[in-house]
Amino acid sequence: MSSFLAAFRGRVLLSRAYGVEARRWMSVRPEEVASTSTARRRKVTIQYLNQLRKAGTPITMVTAYDYPTGRACETHGVDITLVGDSLAQVCLGYDSTTRLTLDEMIHHCRAVARGSKSPFLVADMPFGSYHVNTDEAVRNAIRMVREGGVEGVKIEASFEGVEIIRKLTSIGIPVMAHVGLMPQRHTFFSGYRVQGRTAACALEIAQGARALQEAGAFAIVLEAIPRLLGMYITKQLDIPTIGIGAGVHTDGQVLVWDDLMSVWGGHKAKFVRQFGDVKSAVESGLKGYTKAVRERSFPDDAESYSMPDEEWEKFLKLAQQEGLRGAGDHS
């Protein structure tokens, strides 16, 4: 019983940390758990995203990788939840997003989908899942929608993505495009380098963005391009632009969860601003826990369960009669 209650308490603490409504594990729901409930938000749709764009209201997009982060996006007003292939590095420990498999992505999509109900839910199509041919891209995108529970998919592509987007949108799968720096091609680009700093390269990115819009993309991510180019493309397009290192004049912004929450200990890109400090909280919590365990100050009497003295005495007698080892005094 003690392990069960400890597990329950752990879920309550996690729920508080992320604003998550814990499941009802007991017949009588504790008030402290019930109080974490939040009023249901308006469901974000493509139409609503376009309304935000026309109204000049910046769109917020954040990555999520599991149920707690999905619920955090749900609870705190994020417009678009992105199951990013960055999970390859920040969750699975791979050295590159190109190592992520479709099955791994679908697994994480399912978890996020359970928690993120109101934001529009998009997921990256992993490297290799849409590059062979259009038919395979369609099959894999259908799996992500049907098995993963996402509402749309994101692909990193310029002109070469036009046919894929046309086909996917023709069968009702919304597609978010991604131009500029494409992390899945970091080896080809000799690293994660800013794109569009020359006139020719900037023109190619702008023309590619236009072609992807015409193919049917409902939105487009602009990554690591000069802010003037980000502003220019945003003015030229009729669909929302979501910037990540593209300046403040895009229709919205996206950041990786582990970057904005200061969880990721790797390289910090220039465009990253840390809005939370989860890393320090985790370090402090674990150090404090380890210290308390070593000192035997955890758990104390208030965190332990008692037993009536008469029952304990009866137990000792029964244990002695049964020949149990260690039956001794009350200590």
* Predicted local confidence at residue 326, as pLDDT: 65
**Closest Cα to residue 152, out of 137, 172, 132?**
172
How many of the other CB atoms lie within 10 Å of CB of 178?
A: 26
* Predicted local confidence at residue 169, as pLDDT: 98
Region of residue 245 (left: phi > 0; alpha: psi -120 to 50; beta: else)? left
* Predicted local confidence at residue 38, as pLDDT: 52
Confidence at 27, pLDDT banded by 50, 70, 90: very low
* pTM of full prediction above 0.85: no
How many of the other CB atoms lie within 10 Å of CB of 11?
A: 14
- What number is the average pLDDT over the span 293-308? 97
pLDDT in tens, 231-282: 999 999 999 999 999 999 999 999 999 999 999 877 778 888 999 999 999 9
* Predicted local confidence at residue 39, as pLDDT: 65
| Positions marked active-site | 223
Residue the block writes with tokens 């208030």: 302
Contact present, 284 and 292 (Cβ < 8 Å): no
* Predicted local confidence at residue 14, as pLDDT: 44
The residue with greater pLDDT, 183 or 276, is 276
Question: Is the per-residue pLDDT at 13 higher than 80?
Answer: no
Question: Is the per-residue pLDDT at 132 higher than 90?
Answer: yes
Q: Is the peptide bond before 226 cis (omega within 30 degrees of 0)?
A: no
Contact present, 140 and 99 (Cβ < 8 Å): no
* Predicted local confidence at residue 267, as pLDDT: 76
Q: What is the largest CA-CA distance in the chain?
A: 90
Confidence at 187, pLDDT banded by 50, 70, 90: low
- What number is the average pLDDT over the span 112-130? 97
Region of residue 292 (left: phi > 0; alpha: psi -120 to 50; beta: else)? alpha
What percentage of the chain reaches a pLDDT higher than 70? 84
- Measured in residues, the chain has a length of 331
Helix (H) or strand (E) holding 310: helix 309-321
* Structural domain spans, the chain: 1-37, 46-280
Q: Can you state the angle between helices 102-115 and 134-146, rounded to 10 degrees?
A: 30
Task: Provide the Cα torsion 176, 44, 98, 106; round to 10°.
Answer: -120
Least confident of 128-132, 180-184, 311-315: 180-184
* Cα distance between residue 41 and residue 231, in whole Å: 30
Question: Is the per-residue pLDDT at 24 higher than 90?
Answer: no
Token couple for 163? 């046919």
What's the chain's average pLDDT?
88
* Predicted local confidence at residue 256, as pLDDT: 95
Q: CA 228: distance to chain centroid?
A: 29
* Predicted local confidence at residue 6, as pLDDT: 44
List strand residue ranges (DSSP E) for 90-189, in order.
120-124, 152-156, 175-180
pLDDT in tens, 192-201: 688 999 999 9
* Predicted local confidence at residue 35, as pLDDT: 40
* Predicted local confidence at residue 186, as pLDDT: 60
Does domain 46-280 correspond to CATH entry 3.20.20.60?
Answer: yes
